[in-house]
């Protein structure tokens, strides 16, 4: 597959042109070589409102980078009540547990706002992490990244915070 160009454009606000990959903060910070490697097997999808990306305890089969859409991560309480734990927009990605070495989801993930998402198959994402995408690791652990500050404990599904700037284990 040919390398992806950052100049690939779509119409942005007020009819201006915006490179597709620059509409996601994490993707826009990657060097071209790492971006090309990460998106080698990716596709752009447009999910419908409330479309399920994966259910609670399901295997995470893909990682999604919102471009113009937004995802919602929902946790289940002991009494069966569902609660939105986090929203993920163009600043992050859906599938953070996979980045930390987990294979199943501690939450339900679904489309909150329709739009475009880059989708990377889980196997491809894990392979790229094992090749040490150092810039991606740094972007994911950057203290300005909302997903780096918030993670989910898969056993208790509770929200916690971390200020560590070290790259996660396994990446």
Q: State the pLDDT at residue 160.
A: 34
What one-character-per-residue DSSP string does 47-107 give?
PPTT-EEE-TT-B--EEEEESS-EEEEEEE-TTS-EEEEEEE-TTS-B-HHHHTT--B-SS
Domain containing 45 equals 22-161
Instruction: Please tell me the predicted confidence (pLDDT) of residue 21.
Output: 59
Provide the pLDDT for residue 138. 63
Model confidence, pTM: 0.70
Residue 12 belongs to some domain of the structure: no
Q: What is the mean pLDDT of residues 147-162?
A: 35
pLDDT above 50: residue 150: no
DSSP state of 5: P
**Percentage of the residues of the chain whose pLDDT score is greater than 90:** 49
pLDDT at 1 over 50: no
- Give me the CATH number covering residue 77: 2.60.120.10
Residue 169 lies in a domain: no
Residue 7 lies in a domain: no
∠67-68-74 over CA atoms, to 5°? Answer: 90
Q: Is residue 6 part of a domain?
A: no
């Amino acid at each position: 597959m040919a390398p992806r160009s950052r100049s690939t454009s779509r119409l942005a606000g007020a009819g201006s042109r915006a490179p597709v990959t620059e509409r996601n903060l994490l993707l826009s910070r990657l060097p071209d070589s790492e971006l090309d490697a990460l998106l080698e097997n990716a596709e752009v999808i447009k999910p419908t409102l409330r479309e399920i990306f994966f259910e609670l305890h399901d295997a995470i089969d893909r990682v999604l980078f919102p471009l113009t859409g937004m995802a919602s991560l929902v946790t289940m309480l002991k009494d069966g009540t569902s609660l939105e734990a986090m929203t993920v927009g163009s600043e992050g990605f859906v599938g953070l547990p996979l980045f930390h070495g987990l294979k199943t989801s501690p939450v339900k993930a679904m489309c909150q706002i329709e739009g475009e998402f880059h989708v990377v198959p889980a196997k491809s994402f894990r392979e790229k992490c094992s090749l040490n995408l150092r810039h991606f690791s740094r972007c994911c652990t950057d203290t300005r990244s909302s997903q780096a500050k918030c993670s989910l404990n898969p056993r208790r599904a509770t929200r916690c915070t971390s200020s560590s700037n070290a790259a996660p284990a396994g990446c």
